[in-house]
Amino acid sequence: MVVEPSLALNLGNSRNSDFPVVAKGMTQAEKQLQRAGLLSRLFWGPFSRLGLWTALIVFALDQSHKWWMLLIYKIEAKGRLALTPFLDVVYVLNKGISYSMLKGDTANWQYALAAFAVVASLALAIWLARAVDNSLIATSVGLIIGGALGNALDRVTLGGVADFFSLHAFGYYWYVFNIADVAIVAGVIGLLYDSLRDMRTESPKKGAAPNNADGQHRPGPTTPA
């Protein structure tokens, strides 16, 4: 996950008008209100509501599905179940990250991966509040945060990430995934799409052709009022 570089600059600039400095001579209550305002501006922006609600919905759906599969459906005892010719449901406890990379069996390793996910989600939440300026990015960031926190909770409670969905075709099996993984991938695709969209809108401006034979841009004729 890449955090906007300007975020770190804004956070480190104590003279930024968005982060007022606590003045001398203020009462204790005024100082507390000032600090509360600073924190609210740090973690809350115009698109924070959309992004965080998206994260909450993803987190709730992911955790509800996982515990339903484990406690009510009891997928672990039933084994692999074919839903379609290309999709099976099976229980796999992933103790690594994607494709089971960085796999570790110790509880401390799972806690470390969970802590990393929480820190990354916090950084994304700050970026959401400070730099996000449209609903597509806000929704995409929310999808990533919700998915990351859902998998992080698995690592603490289960000792790994609970995965259930297995795609396969022509004898090739894709890695087993869950709802949180789907949300994270969708969020990344949304961020990439937004970046490509910005590149397409900027390129015509940079490559505009001159409107005169001498290669110079001149304003067109004006219409009299």
DSSP 177: B
Using CA atoms, how far apart are residues 131 and 74, in angstroms rounded to an integer? 43
Q: What sign does the dihedral 52-58-62-68 (CA atoms) show?
A: positive
Residue tagged active-site, from 62, 88, 154, 163: 163
Active site residue 194: no
H or E stretch covering 206 = helix 179-206
Cβ(177)–Cβ(151) below 8 Å = no
Q: CA nearest 57: which of 186, 174, 157, 167?
A: 186
Is 163 among the residues known to form the active site? yes
CA angle centred on 108, ends 181 and 112, rounded to 5° = 45
Among 88, 154, 181, 198, which one carries the catalytic annotation? 181
CA 21 to chain centre: 30
Record the tokens describing residue 217, joined without a space.
């841009």
Partners of 94 in beta bridges: 161
User: So which residues are the catalytic ones?
Assistant: 163, 181
